[in-house]
Structure 1
Amino acid sequence: MRPHLDEVADDMIQEIQTRVREYDRPGEGPYSSTLRLAVERVLHYFVERVADPKEPDSSVIDFFRTIGRGEAGEGRSLDAVQTAMRVGGMVAWRRMAEGAAALEVPARTLGAVGEALMLFQDELAAAAGEGYAQAKAAVAGEMQRRRKRLLDLLFADPPAAPEAIADLAAAAHWPIPRTVAAVALGQETRQPTAFPPDILSDLGRRTPALIIPDPDGPGRAKLVDRALSGSLAVVGPTVPLNEAARSIEWARKTLGLAERGVIGATTGVIRSVEHMSTLILFQDEELITSLARLRLAPLSHLRSSQQDRLAETLLAWLQSGRNANEVAMRLHVHPQTVRYRLRQLEELFGDQLLDPDLRFDLEIVLRARALLGDRPGEQIIPSTGEAVGDTAEVVSFRR
């Protein structure tokens, strides 16, 4: 085989350039030189391997890994390389078959050489694929690192300079939108699989987060809901790009309230804008607790069960325009029971129930109390003093 290698190389190059458009480069430029170098190295390696299969030279395999990395770096697929290898193998097999016929080589020997040729082609293709995958992974990893840095920059407070954001966005191949919404994810978030590439994500941070460009655009809300349906996720308000830090701040606060059970959801997508009053209410919990101790002090000497009933009744009364019948319907109790409780409240609070400002304060703290519910350690009416019996209400209801 050795005396014919130059001739076979010429045949291979001509056939490859004819059949593979990407390799049809006229002249003796660097592309043609690289093609000839590859073909000659492959042919010599194959012949030496047939002559002595015990000591294979790995340089050709490494060479094809480099070719694979180069194709990835140029943004091309491996289709042209793989087609060229198939065409080269076809030319090699044709020449070997012709030589075997002229030399009357036994069929068993020719079959063994053909099998070696196919195995060799598979190794070269695998090496090119390995190099290609390595390069793509490196590019993807660098792009992901840039996107994470961009996410950090957008969440910075005070906001980063627009020029810095624009430069990093260009490096991360992220088109700059007019508006964004930040998303805070619960710790048990599963890996989303349906996000388009324009959504920035970092699931490795302490509070996993996303940035959604153009969140109010057609179909975007459904896309987010579908992708995060199995996770607890909070979408912050839509804001201009330079206010992304504000969106993630509100998203994180909403997530914290949801994880405590104040906002009733354990999975699915929550939108901060739908819970703004609750967010305002819990913006300063120390302040709301202090206000509760002041305004709900008349209930503090009662036992917990009485506190709960009277607080529930007072909130319903404030929310229903102070209509006892509507309160009864809301609480699913008899109107006479409501009236009895209201008399108790009048005795406890006195003229405070006539003052609009005080009624407003009472509704605020009672809403907070109702949202906190029965979670231990989170009640905002501390019990002090001895409990008072509560049998009178039962008697009144029976009457």
Structure 2
Amino acid sequence: MRPHLDEVADDMIQEIQTRVREYDRPGDGSYSGTLRLAVERVLHYFVDRVADPEHEQVSVIDFFRAIGRGEAGEGRSLDAMQTAIRAGGMIAWRRITEGAAMLETSPRTLGAVGEALMSFQDELAAAAAEGYAQAKAAVAGEMQRRRKRLLDLLFADPPAAPEAIADLAAAAHWPVPRTVAAVALGQPRQDSPHQPAFPPDILADLTRRTPSLIVPDPDGPGRAKLVDRALSGSLAVVGPTVPVTEAARSIQWARKTLGLAQRGVIEASGVVRSVEHMSTLILFQDEELITSLAQLRLAPLSHLRVSQQDRLAETLLAWLQSGRNANEVAMRLHVHPQTVRYRLRQLEELFGDQLLDPDLRFDLEIVLRARALLSDHPGEQIIPSRREAVGDSAEIVSFRR
């Protein structure tokens, strides 16, 4: 075969350029030279392999890995490469059978050469695929790193300059939207152990202490359903929609809401949205402050047993919420109106004129609402403890004992 390699190379190049348009570049001398180099190198290595089956093929395999990386770098698939390998193999087999007929080669020898040719083609295709995959993985890894850096930049406080966001977004191939919503993720639900899959326009970093996302244009058509579907396997909180430069504010509210949902203060059924719990977020924005207010306003209950405190606090809150109507309180609490009136007389004795002051009633409703939200969580309640010493102040059970 050796004396005919140049002629075979010409036939292969012509066939490849006929079948694969991407490789037919008449005006590009350097590309034609590269194609000829590849064909000649393959032919010489194949002949060496037939002559010595133990011949090392490392160089040509590495060469095809590099070709695969090059195809990925130019944004092409491996279809053209695989077609070219098949076309070259077809020409090689045609010339081999012609030569074998003239030399009266035995079928067994011809079969062995054909088997070597097919095996060699497979190895070249596998090497190209490996290089292609390596290049794609490297590009994907770099793109993921850029997107994580972009997420860091968007969550920066104080906010980053719009120009800096635009530059890094362009490098990360992320079109800058007009608005975004940040998402804070808790632990995946037990019935859905797999990590969620997100659309490519959603920035995600699941390696953070609190895994976080940024959803572009969250209020657009169909976006809410898309987000709910993507996040269905995890405890997830969507922050408020904000301009892209205020993403840090959205993630702050999302994290705060997530913390309350994990404590059970906010019911976490499906995807939670911060905007639906703004009053609770305001109420728990400064827990030390709300505890101090409770200490001041609920002091009249401090000498009672916990069970008495619970009944009277529940009645007082219902009374404040119902416009101070005893019959409506009875319906809310599912008790007899006479029972409500008895409790209200107790409250009047304990709180006196405070119940006539609208500002003090407002304070009472704030602390009683907070207490009600925590009432199902032992150790996290805003209720005065029973006083064991005489004095004007009362000890208050803090949010966390």
Could you say which TM-score interval applies, normalised by the shorter chain?
over 0.9
- The secondary structure found in structure 2 opposite 1:366 is helix
Alignment check: 8 A CA contact 1:352 1:358 kept: yes
For 1:296-315, what aligned pairs fall within 5 Å after superposition?
296-315=298-317
Alignment check: 8 A CA contact 1:200 1:211 kept: yes
Q: Residue in 2 aligned with 1:397?
A: none
Unpaired segments of 5 or more residues in structure 2? 389-401
For residues 254 and 28 of structure 1, the distance between their equivalents in structure 2, rounded to whole angstroms, comes to 61
Alignment check: 8 A CA contact 1:186 1:233 kept: yes
* AA of the residue aligned to 1:218: P
Q: C-alpha displacement at 1:28, in angstroms?
A: 6.4
Q: C-alpha displacement at 1:224, in angstroms?
A: 0.3
For residues 27 and 310 of structure 2, the distance between their equivalents in structure 1, rounded to whole angstroms, comes to 91
1:53 pairs with 2:19: no
Unpaired segments of 5 or more residues in structure 1? 387-399
For 1:1-399, what aligned pairs fall within 5 Å after superposition?
1-26=1-26, 29-188=29-188, 190-193=194-197, 195-265=198-268, 268-385=270-387
* AA of the residue aligned to 1:255: L
- The secondary structure found in structure 2 opposite 1:182 is strand
For residues 179 and 145 of structure 2, the distance between their equivalents in structure 1, rounded to whole angstroms, comes to 23
For residues 138 and 290 of structure 2, the distance between their equivalents in structure 1, rounded to whole angstroms, comes to 52
Which whole-Å deviations, capped at 9, do the CAs of 1:137-175 have from their partners, x for residues lacking one? 000111111111111111111111111111111111111
Alignment check: 8 A CA contact 1:187 1:207 kept: no
Alignment check: 8 A CA contact 1:11 1:91 kept: yes
Q: C-alpha displacement at 1:187, in angstroms?
A: 3.5
For residues 132 and 55 of structure 2, the distance between their equivalents in structure 1, rounded to whole angstroms, comes to 26
Between Structure 1 and Structure 2, how many residues are aligned? 385
For residues 251 and 218 of structure 1, the distance between their equivalents in structure 2, rounded to whole angstroms, comes to 22
For residues 168 and 8 of structure 1, the distance between their equivalents in structure 2, rounded to whole angstroms, comes to 50
Which whole-Å deviations, capped at 9, do the CAs of 1:187-239 have from their partners, x for residues lacking one? 4375221x221111111011111111111000100000011011111111111
More moved, 21-30 vs 312-321: 21-30
- The secondary structure found in structure 1 opposite 2:271 is strand
Q: C-alpha displacement at 1:100, in angstroms?
A: 1.1
Alignment check: 8 A CA contact 2:201 2:216 kept: yes
* AA of the residue aligned to 2:286: D
* AA of the residue aligned to 2:147: R
Which whole-Å deviations, capped at 9, do the CAs of 1:345-377 have from their partners, x for residues lacking one? 111111111111111110000000011123232
- The secondary structure found in structure 2 opposite 1:380 is coil
TM-score normalized by structure 1?
A: 0.94
The change in CA–CA distance for 1:11 and 1:358 in structure 2 (over 3 A counts) is same
**Percent identical:** 89
TM-score normalized by structure 2?
A: 0.94
* AA of the residue aligned to 1:104: E
- The secondary structure found in structure 1 opposite 2:183 is strand
For residues 55 and 46 of structure 1, the distance between their equivalents in structure 2, rounded to whole angstroms, comes to 10
For residues 270 and 87 of structure 1, the distance between their equivalents in structure 2, rounded to whole angstroms, comes to 57
Q: C-alpha displacement at 1:58, in angstroms?
A: 0.6
